[in-house]
Amino acid sequence: MSFNQNFDEHSRWRRAFSRDLQHLADWLTQHDLLDAVVAEQVEALRRRVQEDKVMVAFVAEFSRGKSELINALFFSGYGQRIMPASAGRTTMCPTELGYDADQPPTLRLLPIETRLQPRALTDWRDQPTAWETIELDVSDAPTLATSMARVAEVLRVSPEQASALGFWLNEGGADKSMLGADGLVEVPRWRHALINIAHPILKQGLVILDTPGLNAIGAEPELTVSLLPQAHAIVFILGADTGVTQSDLRIWREHLTPMEGAEAGRLVVLNKIDTLWDELSTPEQVNAQIERQVVNSANILGVERTRVLAVSAQKGLVAKIHGDDALLQASQLPALEHLLVEGIIGQRRELLVDAVTEGLTRLVVQTRQTTHARVRDLTEQIQELESLRGKNVSVIKHMRHRIEHEQAEFEGGGGRIQAVRSVHMKLLRELFKVLGHAKFKHEVLRLTERLKEPGLKLGVRKTYEQTFVGLRDLLLQAKKLADEISRMLMTAFTQLNTEYGLSLQVPPLPDVDKYLQDLSDIEQSHVRYLGFGHTFKLAQPEFCERLGRALASRLRVVYESAANDLELWNKTAAGQLDAQLRDRRRNYARRVEAVVRIQEAAGDLDVRMSELAQQVDAFDQQASQLEKMTSAMLEMNRDHVTQPLPLSA
């Protein structure tokens, strides 16, 4: 199975789970078990499954065959090249290919001049008028390829303009080679490109990120700070004939060196092995030469030999278009597809399955509590009515008064319940103040202001470390407050359960530690941009401003995600209390109604007991049906994550 086929299998699981989840929501609604909080949990699960994206980033210096490899892996079905892949520089700006059903097929191009404005790239995404939009004809491959070629457009500007845009370093170096005989510098015309097409693999949630060479990577902090670190896999492409060049090594060390535990998300590809196919050499000699390049590249980059593959993207594309199996195997493209499947889909599906399994289990526990509480109340009513069998009018009247007295006591306990809510809300306000925008902005401000200072940024690393200490402390404070809320609710719920016969349980706290880990990952992956090698870039105000905005934008996502998780957790706890109080009030009303009916007609006792017994049976059946549905969904999850990933054909 190819990468596309394996990805399609993963997508079928996502669609099947989403359908089952909708069926479960409909069933819960039908049986009055879908309150507002449960509905929000179901919707959060559904979004998590439906909107899950897998990003694969392709990174290389110019002329390594990135775009050709993308064509070979994903777009051979068009029968021709779709991404521009001619000789020389092709992809001049970061290009994202994905699918959004709410948007028509389009190519959106953000002018390079937007770098001069104080706005993060993520903010520009929400400004459609700032982009040049080209409608795509996905039914016509040549026309589509012509439209895609626009990502390669360039401008020629003065060195001063290039410097303002972040492309020109006055100290010289590799960038100085960009200076032409006319005294102008060639820079990309576009800052970023977004391609939205209904390609089958993109419709299933794959996002492809095609990146330009070293100069463009270093000039766009948002690419290196946000997009690349968030990619689930990065394919780093080298030339098979050259191996690891100096500029290749610089890209790897400055932007791609994997952190501990992230090695599976890095693949190194030696492309263009067909340039080593020599008719004057034996196949064994050619293979030995390729193997030497693979081993040398692995040693230089410090990765396992198994993470380095040698392929021919061009021959692989030709083989797929013409159905030449022998050439396809010689291109070694299937081996790369297998590693992509193993490293991306295998890892990604485990994370997704774990997340939805946890969410579904939490949802089931809460729903079971509701059905068990209802069965318990009905059973108590049956026992209560059974005690009236053969009793006189005064006994029945006395029971009615007792129920009404219990009801009055329950309603009179509203002050205690309100006190619980009051303490809960007070702690919640403290919690969300800690995770609020003001606190976050205060911590990040010291770094962004430090980066804006003119001249060399000596000592900026210390400010960077202090910023992360402050940010980490905010999350630790939030974790401490969440623990305090959990303990408070546990004590209050125990008292309410004892006094009013409720079955309240505090749901498990969200894992705040994963957000602390996210902070550590961001800190480790970006501290490299503050080293000596970036001294001259850090002296450029425009670059530092873009770096600060990009970092703040990514950090904000971490804090908003943590706040959203804790908010849903609190809603779940509070919603559980509301649901059981509502059911208890209904129960009192039904008990009084039953006794009144028995007072008016003694024959109604057996009728009412029979009705209650039927309701108990119905709830038992509901509990059994819920168990059956959710067990099937959980089993499907286990099967999906344990199913072995087949090798490429």
In the chain, the percentage of residues whose pLDDT exceeds 90 is: 19
The mean pLDDT value for 561-574 works out to: 88
pLDDT of 359 over the 60 cut: yes
Specify whether the CB–CB gap between 204 and 80 falls below 8 A.
Answer: no
Q: How far is the C-alpha of 431 from the C-alpha of 480, rounded, in Å?
A: 9
Q: How far is the C-alpha of 562 from the C-alpha of 385, rounded, in Å?
A: 50
Per-residue model confidence (pLDDT) at position 176: 52
Domain with CATH 3.40.50.300 in the chain: 53-153+189-331
The mean pLDDT value for 109-128 works out to: 86
Per-residue pLDDT tens for 456-472? 666 777 888 889 999 99
Q: Residue 6: pLDDT band by 50, 70, 90 thresholds?
A: low
Instruction: Choose between 205 and 572: higher pLDDT.
Output: 572
The mean pLDDT value for 364-371 works out to: 80
Q: How far is the C-alpha of 269 from the C-alpha of 250, rounded, in Å?
A: 16
Q: Which residues of 235-253 are buried (b: 16+ CB within 10 A; e: fewer)?
A: bbbbbbeeebeeebebbbe
Per-residue model confidence (pLDDT) at position 580: 84
pLDDT of 537 over the 70 cut: no
Q: How far is the C-alpha of 446 from the C-alpha of 448, rounded, in Å?
A: 6
The mean pLDDT value for 247-276 works out to: 81
Per-residue model confidence (pLDDT) at position 11: 74
Q: How far is the C-alpha of 69 from the C-alpha of 32, rounded, in Å?
A: 53
Per-residue model confidence (pLDDT) at position 231: 82
Question: Cα-atom radius of gyration of the chain, to the nearest Å?
Answer: 31
Per-residue model confidence (pLDDT) at position 646: 38
Q: How far is the C-alpha of 222 from the C-alpha of 230, rounded, in Å?
A: 11
Per-residue model confidence (pLDDT) at position 173: 42
Instruction: Choose between 380 and 538: higher pLDDT.
Output: 380
Q: Residue 534: pLDDT band by 50, 70, 90 thresholds?
A: low
Count CB atoms within 10 A of the CB of residue 390. Answer: 8
Specify whether the CB–CB gap between 91 and 153 falls below 8 A.
Answer: no
Per-residue model confidence (pLDDT) at position 185: 83
Per-residue pLDDT tens for 291-313? 999 999 999 999 999 889 999 99
Per-residue model confidence (pLDDT) at position 648: 31
The mean pLDDT value for 80-109 works out to: 81
Nearest to 510 by CA among 370, 638, 634, 362: 362
**Contacts of 32 by beta carbon, 8 Å cutoff, 6+ apart:** none
In the chain, the percentage of residues whose pLDDT exceeds 70 is: 85
Specify whether the CB–CB gap between 38 and 573 falls below 8 A.
Answer: no
| Highest mean predicted confidence (pLDDT) among 13-22, 311-320, 431-440 | 311-320
Instruction: Choose between 648 and 80: higher pLDDT.
Output: 80
The mean pLDDT value for 611-615 works out to: 84
Instruction: Choose between 203 and 239: higher pLDDT.
Output: 239
Residue 107's φ and ψ, nearest 5 degrees, are -115, 120
Q: How far is the C-alpha of 605 from the C-alpha of 319, rounded, in Å?
A: 81
**Contacts of 626 by beta carbon, 8 Å cutoff, 6+ apart:** 27, 364, 367, 368, 371
Which CATH number fits the domain 53-153+189-331, given the four candidates 3.40.50.300, 3.40.50.2300, 3.40.1380.10, 3.30.450.40? 3.40.50.300
pLDDT of 90 over the 80 cut: no
Instruction: Choose between 505 and 326: higher pLDDT.
Output: 326
Per-residue model confidence (pLDDT) at position 649: 27
Per-residue pLDDT tens for 22-81? 888 888 888 888 777 778 888 888 877 776 778 888 998 888 888 899 889 888 888 988
Q: How far is the C-alpha of 385 from the C-alpha of 392, rounded, in Å?
A: 13
Q: For the chain, what is the mean pLDDT?
A: 82
The mean pLDDT value for 332-356 works out to: 76
Instruction: Choose between 318 and 343: higher pLDDT.
Output: 318
| Mean pLDDT lowest among 58-67, 231-240, 370-379, 594-603 | 594-603
Q: Residue 531: pLDDT band by 50, 70, 90 thresholds?
A: low
Specify whether the CB–CB gap between 400 and 595 falls below 8 A.
Answer: yes
- Residue with tokens 């040693």, as numbered in its chain: 299
Distances 436 to 83, 423, 471, 556, 563 between C-alpha atoms, Å: 43, 20, 12, 10, 8
